[in-house]
Amino acid sequence: MVRFTHLHVSSAFSAHYGTGRPEVLVAAAKAAGAEAAAITDRDGVYGAVRHIRACISENLAPIVGVNLPLRASRTTEQGPLEITALAHGSHQGAAAGAGWAALVRLISAAHSPRRRGRRALHGSAHRSASTDPKAASVFLSGEEGPVATVLLGPRSDVGDALVSGDRTRAEALLNQWKKHLPGGVVVEVVCWNTKPGTTASLGHAAQLLQLARATGTPAVLTNAVRYVEPDDAVTGDVLDAAAHLLPLGEFQPQPNAQAWLKPPEAMHELAYRIAEYAGLGRYAAIELLSTTEHLAEQCRIDPDTDLGWRQPKIPELEILGVDQDPARVLAQRCEAALSDRYPLSTAHQLGTIRDRMEEELTTISGFGFASYFLAVAETVDLIRDRGVRVQARGSGAGSLVNYLLRVSNVDPLEHDLLFERFLGNKRSTLPDIDIDIESARRHEIYQAIFDRYGHHRVTLLSMQNTYRARGAARDAGLALGLSEEQINQVAEHIWRFNARDFRSVLHSKPELRQIAELVATEPQLDQLVDLTERLDRLPRHISMHPCGVILGDSSLLSVTPTQPSGIGLPMSQFDKDDIDDMGLLKLDILGVRMQSSMAYAVEEITRVNGPAAAAEGGLPAEVPYISADGRVDLDALPHDDEPTFEMIRTTHTLGCFQIESPGQRELIGKLQPDRYADLIADISLFRPGPMKGNMVTPFVNRKHGYERIEYLHRQFAPFLQDSYGVVIYHEHVLRILHETMGVSLAEADEIRRRMEHDVDTIEGEFRSHTAARTDEYGQRIFTDVQIDRIWETLRGFGSFGFCKAHGAAFALPTYQSAWLKTHYPVEFFAGLLEHDPGMYQRRFIMAEARRIGIPVLPVDINASGEHYRVERISAEEKGIRMPLRHIKGITEAELTRILAGQPYESITAFYHQAAPSRALMRRLAGIGAFDALAEHGRRSGTRGSIMTYAQQLTAPSRCRNTPAEDPQQPVLFSEAELMDTTVSDPTVEERITTELDTLSTEVTGHVLTPYQPMLEHLGVTPAEELLTLRTNTEVLVAGIRVATQTPPMRSGERTVFISLDDGTGCADTTFFTDAQERTGPLLFGTRLMLIKGHTRRTGHRGISIQAEQAWDLKQLWQEWHRSLTVPAA
Amino acid sequence: MTAETSACQDQDLATVWTDPQGVPEHLFWCGRRFVVMAQPIAWQDHAIWWETPARVARGTGRALVERPMWQVTARALDNGQILIFDLAVTAGHQWPVTGIYD
């Protein structure tokens, strides 16, 4: 069997270029008998860790390189000129990791912004990274020769000179490269069988080989691979179109489909053909092939020695300020925090707490993770010191140590959370401690972390955005040259399916009915479906991960290449799946808008109410969690505030964290929580697993006394209290296994993890261990019948359960936001509008504010600022003032000028001082921002006259008939007198339309207001009246769509939930298969809808509508109008 | 096309005879007979698949994207003129001529 190692291979991680995933390419190389496999992605090592992982599992030697554009080179029709660099491995005498570090630094340098700004070009075909011989010399030269090899191929400057017929220049360029990197340059011969005379043709390959021989330069053969099989060339064409942002046919396409991972035989044959064409004998071909294999040997990376594969690289102790044993320092910090966290505990209780703490500390230091915990604590301290809200999320909340370090604010003892669920005995990689902070201050915190640990120890994490169905259809449409309208028509109806399944769902999804018909008649759309499927899950572009920060030691920048992130901080080329293998520590610091909203609300409470804050919130004056100056400490709230639970039980929970979705409101309606543990259960139950496993019904029935509470076994009663005996949490399973099998909690967690994969393998073990358990009298603790029942429960639990620590951590902001909504609704809604945290659009949150009686104050040129602000209207009433920031088209500069000039005395003064654009001036007038200015004096300007006046002011000068042009000119007439009061005011409908257009929300009324006559005529039921109806009443509801969801259902059938807002509340409707069929394309594409269906009571406070049919309200309105104007026959 | 072809009616097609392996041996173009001189060069062109109404399902890609070509250097039997032809491989003898150079 002949052997050939492909040294130049682009994977799909060469975004918009490669089509093969590293795992597939490696498997193909293995199948072809290779002993090593290379990855040389464009501009980075984005796919390298996956490649190495695949190589390890296929037992191949990994080779890693990069393909980089050449700086200041000419750009050909195929893009910029480029080189490929391959890192050397350490086993050939080079220092361990030197090749990798060199490659990494070369890449980072290639991405560092140039000093002279370059023209920003659109499309990924314009690659922003670049390198040159000098950079190669600087980064790739080691102390004892080069630590990487540069491949100069057909698309290099040397290859380009040859194809242009300038052999002298080619030789000069090659010599220059060799001078910069002696011994580190090879000629890369590629033959793609392109048209003779062009790049990568047989002749071009022969010229490269001849040049190498003439100059005594080693030459290697590659196929500059960009796909696994020639079939993928079609996908390549579409990716090229996406990279150019041009349809196929409007740019130079790839030459043909030859750039695939050809088998060794084909590559050997190519070598012979090239040598023959070059007029060189067989020996030249053999030499070419053996040099290729020799270089492959030299570039084999050893993951352990070269990369420190899976070896932790965390900040050095001195950086953490730790000068002794980190385990001891951690223990001291926890001990010191005990009295602070548990001030009211008795000595006995403290003893129990201390035991738990010591157990946790023993496990932590046993793994050597103490410094990791200290680093996390240090980071959280740094966040808190800056006055930013911070809260741990996930299983980390199960750790008492985290609670003592103030990493988490959830007391694991209060909620019976288990450390073992977070960190068991068998963990080898660092556990994740996820932290939520205020989203608005996330970048500030990242910057602070960089400053704290040093810029050479920190980078942001990146993420690969991959093609989903909608984006794939859009790019496929672009490639085919479809019109924007045609593309939209398809894309709008694509709703959550995998791109690769497009054709198979065409006929099963009612919303795709029209598309299916078009596909049958229009070949281009038929192609679009195929192309969309081909793009499925291919990486599109890299971006900053929403929460990941990588913390390393001082070698970090030799481990990961970095590139600009868009926020001025460097971003690693690795994503979350690469981190563990690279031994890097990832901090998950997620910006959570709800945290920003709550922080904002707290600020507003203090600012507006001051010392009267407690009274304003309907609370006793001396509550410990509100300071004398009116500052609320949300983390110190007691968890049993009845008014808060009362509000939650109404299901009017819009705006509250985690419990505002239609499905959640329905669950809340059934569950009727009256204690904190119920909130944890609610959040844990509202997941696909428990919903499918129907854990909700027994929970609700037992809670409300419809069903007797049973605990499976009397020994389980203490820990199943929190869920009325229903097994919901991982923690429950751990405790059950601990009680029954007599294993430790850590072992129980391992068994639980095994159960998730294959529950039946546990059964024998479970039964024998449990049956063997006896009490002090030698009697069996568990009878066979009990064992059967317990096993059935565990078996049914499967993978449905949820980590209670997750739920408890989520429940905290849920409770805090509900508390704010209950006690400080105006301030809370100001926070919601300011930071837009939830699933609903801002306009719906505003509608909800109005619904609960909060005055929304219109934009006012003097009263409005940059932010949503609480404004006192009277001693009793507060409202929310709309900001200037969200006016359509307002620029930063205009906003700054307007704010600087406030207050304004007249419209004219505003126009001259703030110098707004003409359009902005008219928009301000249209939404009533000048109404207050025109109010004083005898004659108040009306909205109509103000709008006319603003038009006159901003009209081109020759038409201007206002004397107010020069601000220096004495004012003879007051503005009000200049206004034409005969101009009629806009109607309510017109105002609402203007508001929606200018502010994306209505202020004056509701978007449905204009339709009222028709709705009354049709007998439409307002949302607020639905609860008064009996179940199974036929109803019509109308409104603006505020939510569309397709959650997983027990039946497995797709169910579509559509929620409509009509200004009186939210009507939640359910579309089952038949109704989806009848609704067809309206299902996902229509905003204003009328829905007919039957009511369905879903609990004490819940009602939803089982939809039968839906109409487009706008269309209906036109038809209704027409019917009114047509006289009855 | 740079060759003298003014008198020719159908310069976009040539009648091509190949050896059993499919390599062109001689051709008839614009009323003139040519004999292939040197070893022809096989190459692959990119086909304009997006202008055809065909499906592009997985597995059909290569045939859609690639168009097999020969570049041949041939001598006219009438006056000894040497021309280079790019010929698109086609079933039968009538092959499209996509380029001619002298």
Give Cα separations from A403 to A67, A746, A759, A802, B40 (angstroms).
Answer: 47, 20, 33, 21, 78
Say yes or no for a CB contact (<8 Å) between B45 and A256.
yes
A870 & A958 share domain: yes
Q: Which of B43, B48, B62 is facing A201, going by the closest CB pair?
A: B43
User: How many angstroms separate the CA atoms of A468 and A466, rounded?
Assistant: 6
Say yes or no for a CB contact (<8 Å) between A256 and B59.
no
A268 & A177 share domain: yes
Tell me whether A771 touches chain B (CB under 8 Å).
no
Q: Which of A195, A234, A530 is facing B65, going by the closest CB pair?
A: A234
A159 & A260 share domain: yes
Which residues in chain A are closer than 8 Å to B58, comparing Cβ atoms?
231, 530, 533-534
DSSP conformation letters of A190-230:
-----STTSTTSHHHHHHHHHHHHHHT--EEE---B-BSSG
Q: For chain A, which residues score pLDDT lower than 50?
A: 937-938, 959-960, 962-964, 1128-1129
Say yes or no for a CB contact (<8 Å) between A196 and B42.
no
Distance from CA of B1 to the nearest CA of A (A): 16
| Shortest CA distance from A478: residue in chain B | B50
Q: Which of B41, B51, B65 is facing A257, going by the closest CB pair?
A: B65
A557 & A527 share domain: no
Find all residues with CB under 8 Å of A108, minimum gap 6, and list them: A557, A561, A562, A563, A570
Q: Is residue A85 assigned to a domain?
A: yes
Say if residues A411 and A338 touch (Cβ distance below 8 Å).
Answer: no
Say if residues A1060 and A1040 touch (Cβ distance below 8 Å).
Answer: yes
| pLDDT at A94 (0 to 100) | 67
Q: Is residue B71 assigned to a domain?
A: yes
Tell me whether A223 touches chain B (CB under 8 Å).
no
Distance from CA of A256 to the nearest CA of B (A): 5
A886 & A921 share domain: yes
Q: Is residue B62 assigned to a domain?
A: yes
ipTM attached to this prediction: 0.94
Tell me whether A248 touches chain B (CB under 8 Å).
yes
Q: Is residue A260 assigned to a domain?
A: yes
Say yes or no for a CB contact (<8 Å) between A193 and B42.
yes
Q: Is residue A550 assigned to a domain?
A: yes
Q: Is residue A376 assigned to a domain?
A: yes
Distance from CA of A489 to the nearest CA of B (A): 20
A505 & A531 share domain: yes
SS3 sequence, A399-450?
Answer: CHHHHHCCCCCCCCCCCCCCHHHHCCCCCCCCCCCEEEEEHHHHHHHHHHHH
Which is it for strands A390-393 and A434-438: parallel, antiparallel or unpaired? Answer: antiparallel
Tell me whether A75 touches chain B (CB under 8 Å).
no
Say yes or no for a CB contact (<8 Å) between A194 and B44.
yes
Which residues in chain A are closer than 8 Å to B54, comparing Cβ atoms?
523, 527
Q: Is residue B8 assigned to a domain?
A: no
A186 & A241 share domain: yes
User: How many angstroms separate the CA atoms of A1048 and A1009, rounded?
Assistant: 35
Distance from CA of A538 to the nearest CA of B (A): 15
Distance from CA of A260 to the nearest CA of B (A): 11
> pLDDT-based confidence at B3, cuts 50/70/90?
very low
| pLDDT at A793 (0 to 100) | 87
Find all residues with CB under 8 Å of A1106, minimum gap 6, and list them: A1069, A1070, A1072, A1075, A1093, A1094, A1095, A1096
Say yes or no for a CB contact (<8 Å) between A530 and B56.
yes
- A938 pairs with which residues across the strands? none
Say if residues A225 and A191 touch (Cβ distance below 8 Å).
Answer: no
Comparing C-alpha atoms, which of A771, A779, A775, A698 is closest to residue A740? A771
Domain assignment of residue B70, given as a range: 13-101
Tell me whether B80 touches chain A (CB under 8 Å).
no
Tell me whether A230 touches chain B (CB under 8 Å).
yes
**Which stretch of DSSP H or E encloses residue A872?**
strand A869-872
Q: Which of B51, B53, B61 is facing A230, going by the closest CB pair?
A: B61
Tell me whether A526 touches chain B (CB under 8 Å).
yes
Say yes or no for a CB contact (<8 Å) between A530 and B55.
yes
Say if residues A632 and A609 touch (Cβ distance below 8 Å).
Answer: no
**C-alpha A1033 chain-centroid distance:** 41
Tell me whether B86 touches chain A (CB under 8 Å).
yes
Residue A1127 DSSP label: P
User: How many angstroms separate the CA atoms of A1021 and A1103, rounded?
Assistant: 13
Categorise residue A321: left if φ over 0, alpha if ψ from -120 to 50, beta otherwise: left
Packing angle, helices A133-140 and A98-111, rounded to 10: 140
> pLDDT tens digits for A675-723?
999 999 999 998 877 777 778 889 999 999 999 998 989 999 999 999 9
Q: Is residue A607 assigned to a domain?
A: no
Beta carbons within 10 angstroms of residue A931's beta carbon:
18
Q: Which pair of structure tokens corresponds to residue A444?
A: 């500030």
A1077 & A1022 share domain: yes
Report A:836-895 residues touching B (Cβ under 8 A): none
User: How many angstroms separate the CA atoms of A909 and A930, rounded?
Assistant: 11
SS3 sequence, A27-50?
Answer: HHHHHCCCCEEEEEEECCCCCHHH
Which residues in chain B are closer than 8 Å to A232, comparing Cβ atoms?
61
A1034 & A1085 share domain: yes
Find all residues with CB under 8 Å of A296, minimum gap 6, and list them: A5, A7, A36, A38, A63
The dihedral built from the CA positions of residue A1004, A1006, A1010 and A1015, taken in this order, carries a sign that is negative
Best to test chain A binding among B39, B41, B85 (most A CBs inside 10 Å): B41
| pLDDT at A1003 (0 to 100) | 84
Distance from CA of B9 to the nearest CA of A (A): 26
Lay out the sheet containing A878-881: strands in order across. Answer: A856-857, A878-881, A869-872
Give Cα separations from A474 to A239, A479, A517, A518, B53 (angstroms).
Answer: 12, 9, 19, 16, 19
Q: Is residue B55 assigned to a domain?
A: yes
| pLDDT at A996 (0 to 100) | 86
A106 & A232 share domain: yes
A388 & A408 share domain: yes
Give strand ranges (E) for A970-1052.
Answer: 1034-1045
Comparing C-alpha atoms, which of A464, A440, A466, A456 is closest to residue A570? A456
Q: Is residue B6 assigned to a domain?
A: no
Query: Looking up tokens 């750039």, which residue turns up?
Result: A259
User: How many angstroms separate the CA atoms of A534 and A238, rounded?
Assistant: 9
Q: Which of A231, A527, A534 is facing B62, going by the closest CB pair?
A: A231
Q: Which of B48, B54, B71 is facing A196, going by the closest CB pair?
A: B71
Helices (H) and strands (E) in chain A, counts: 48, 25
Say yes or no for a CB contact (<8 Å) between B46 and A195.
no
Best to test chain B binding among A19, A77, A190, A195 (most B CBs inside 10 Å): A195
Which residues in chain B are closer than 8 Å to A253, comparing Cβ atoms?
46
| pLDDT at A941 (0 to 100) | 62
| Shortest CA distance from A198: residue in chain B | B43
**Which stretch of DSSP H or E encloses residue A864?**
none
Say if residues A357 and A412 touch (Cβ distance below 8 Å).
Answer: no
Say if residues A217 and A186 touch (Cβ distance below 8 Å).
Answer: yes
Comparing C-alpha atoms, which of A61, A226, A80 is closest to residue A156? A80
Say yes or no for a CB contact (<8 Å) between A230 and B64.
no
A898 & A984 share domain: yes
Instruction: Tell me how many residue pairs between chain A and chain B have CB atoms under 8 A apart.
Output: 88
Tell me whether A258 touches chain B (CB under 8 Å).
yes
Residue A780 DSSP label: B
Tell me whether A231 touches chain B (CB under 8 Å).
yes
| pLDDT at A1054 (0 to 100) | 84
The dihedral built from the CA positions of residue A897, A901, A902 and A905, taken in this order, carries a sign that is negative
- Give the residue-averaged pLDDT of B40-46: 96
Distance from CA of B59 to the nearest CA of A (A): 6
Which residues in chain A are closer than 8 Å to B65, comparing Cβ atoms?
230, 233-234, 237, 256-257
How many structural domains are present in chain A?
A: 5
User: How many angstroms separate the CA atoms of A918 and A950, rounded?
Assistant: 9
Tell me whether B38 touches chain A (CB under 8 Å).
no
Which residues in chain A are closer than 8 Å to B2, comparing Cβ atoms?
none
Distance from CA of A501 to the nearest CA of B (A): 12
User: How many angstroms separate the CA atoms of A1068 and A1102, rounded?
Assistant: 10
Helix (H, G, I), strand (E, B), or coil: what is residue A1021? coil
Best to test chain A binding among B62, B67, B69 (most A CBs inside 10 Å): B62
Residue B2, pLDDT above cutoff 80: no
User: How many angstroms separate the CA atoms of A960 and A955, rounded?
Assistant: 6
Q: Which pair of structure tokens corresponds to residue A588?
A: 């998950």
Q: Is residue A924 assigned to a domain?
A: yes
Instruction: For chain A, report the end-to-end CA distance as a whole number of angstroms.
Output: 89
User: How many angstroms separate the CA atoms of A519 and A482, rounded?
Assistant: 13
DSSP conformation letters of A584-644:
-EEEEEEEEHHHHHHHHHHHHHHHHHGGGHHHHTT--TT-TTB-TTS-B-GGG--S--HHH
Comparing C-alpha atoms, which of A521, A519, A518 is closest to residue A529? A519
Say yes or no for a CB contact (<8 Å) between A523 and B57.
no
How many structural domains are present in chain B?
A: 1
Packing angle, helices A730-741 and A745-757, rounded to 10: 110
Say if residues B64 and B54 touch (Cβ distance below 8 Å).
Answer: yes
Tell me whether B90 touches chain A (CB under 8 Å).
no
Say yes or no for a CB contact (<8 Å) between A479 and B41.
no
Say yes or no for a CB contact (<8 Å) between B61 and A248.
no
Domain assignment of residue A225, given as a range: 22-307
Tell me whether B89 touches chain A (CB under 8 Å).
no
Query: Looking up tokens 């690469």, which residue turns up?
Result: A578
| pLDDT at A949 (0 to 100) | 83
User: How many angstroms separate the CA atoms of A1088 and A681, rounded?
Assistant: 35
User: How many angstroms separate the CA atoms of A725 and A673, rounded?
Assistant: 16
User: How many angstroms separate the CA atoms of A20 and A537, rounded?
Assistant: 11
Helices (H) and strands (E) in chain B, counts: 1, 7
- A543 pairs with which residues across the strands? A463
User: How many angstroms separate the CA atoms of A460 and A458, rounded?
Assistant: 7
Query: Looking up tokens 């011994």, which residue turns up?
Result: A183
Say yes or no for a CB contact (<8 Å) between B58 and A196.
no
